[in-house]
């Protein structure tokens, strides 16, 4: 009896799920479907680099407890991050505009072209890091030892592909 009841419940659940899936299928008169990545990007919070930078700056400013005496160094640091975010947003807009102009004309780059682009990206990344270090060093020097300890955690970039992304696993490069 219990087995029959359990089977009936599972069958009813599956039937409801399938019916629900068909009920949500868009018809031909609805708006054209956009790629998942585009829909996901539009719905995501802090979708623009400037929004992410502002949130990050607010967090770091609070975590470091910046004093009025340290504010000039902080403003220089924040200014560089904001400028870099604005530059990144402009590049995104240019790429989107280029992709919309000629969606079918793009061809796959050759191996040499990919390496040249990679070199350009690495050179630009080194330049951005130099700009950041130029303002981060004076800020770090103006911090108290307690603030420096906090800065060692909150100012380090722990993004994609860097050690510390998975601190609970010991980071990358663990032998």
pLDDT per residue as tens digits for the range 2-16: 555 555 555 555 455
| DSSP code of residue 24 | T
Q: So what's the pLDDT on residue 77?
A: 95
Confidence of residue 174 (pLDDT cuts 50, 70, 90): very low
Domain count within the chain: 1
Task: Give me the sign of the Cα torsion angle 139, 145, 151, 152.
Answer: positive
Q: Where are the beta strands (DSSP E) in 54-125?
A: none
Look at residue 19 and tell me if it is in a domain.
no
Look at residue 132 and tell me if it is in a domain.
yes
Q: Pick the more confident residue, 33 or 58.
A: 58
**Tokens representing residue 97 in the block:** 């505009």
| Pick from 60, 69, 59: nearest CA to 138 | 69
Q: Pick the more confident residue, 125 or 35.
A: 125
Q: Which domain holds residue 78?
A: 47-101+111-158
Q: Against a cut of 0.85, is the pTM above it?
A: no
Report pLDDT digits (tens) over 55-67: 999 999 999 999 9
Confidence of residue 18 (pLDDT cuts 50, 70, 90): very low
The terminus-to-terminus CA distance of the chain in angstroms comes to 57
Look at residue 36 and tell me if it is in a domain.
no
Residue 152 clears pLDDT 50, i.e. is over it: yes
Q: So what's the pLDDT on residue 98?
A: 79
Q: Pick the more confident residue, 148 or 22.
A: 148
Distances (CA, A) of 9 to 6, 15, 17, 21, 90: 5, 10, 12, 18, 55
């Amino acid at each position: 009896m219990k087995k029959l009841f359990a089977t009936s419940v599972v069958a009813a659940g599956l039937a409801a799920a399938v019916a629900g899936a068909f009920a949500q299928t868009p018809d031909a008169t609805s708006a054209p479907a956009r790629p998942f990545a585009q829909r996901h990007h539009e719905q995501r919070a802090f979708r623009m680099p400037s929004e992410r930078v502002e949130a990050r700056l607010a967090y770091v400013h609070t975590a470091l407890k910046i004093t009025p005496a340290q504010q000039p160094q902080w403003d220089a640091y924040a200014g560089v991050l904001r400028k870099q975010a604005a530059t990144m947003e402009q590049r995104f807009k240019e790429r989107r505009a280029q992709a919309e102009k000629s969606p079918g004309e793009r061809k796959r780059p050759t191996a040499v072209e990919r390496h040249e682009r990679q070199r350009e990206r690495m050179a630009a990344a080194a330049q951005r890091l130099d700009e950041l270090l130029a303002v981060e060093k004076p800020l770090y020097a103006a911090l108290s030892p307690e603030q420096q300890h906090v800065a060692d955690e909150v100012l380090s970039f722990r993004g994609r592909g860097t050690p510390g992304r998975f601190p609970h696993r010991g980071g990358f490069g663990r032998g």
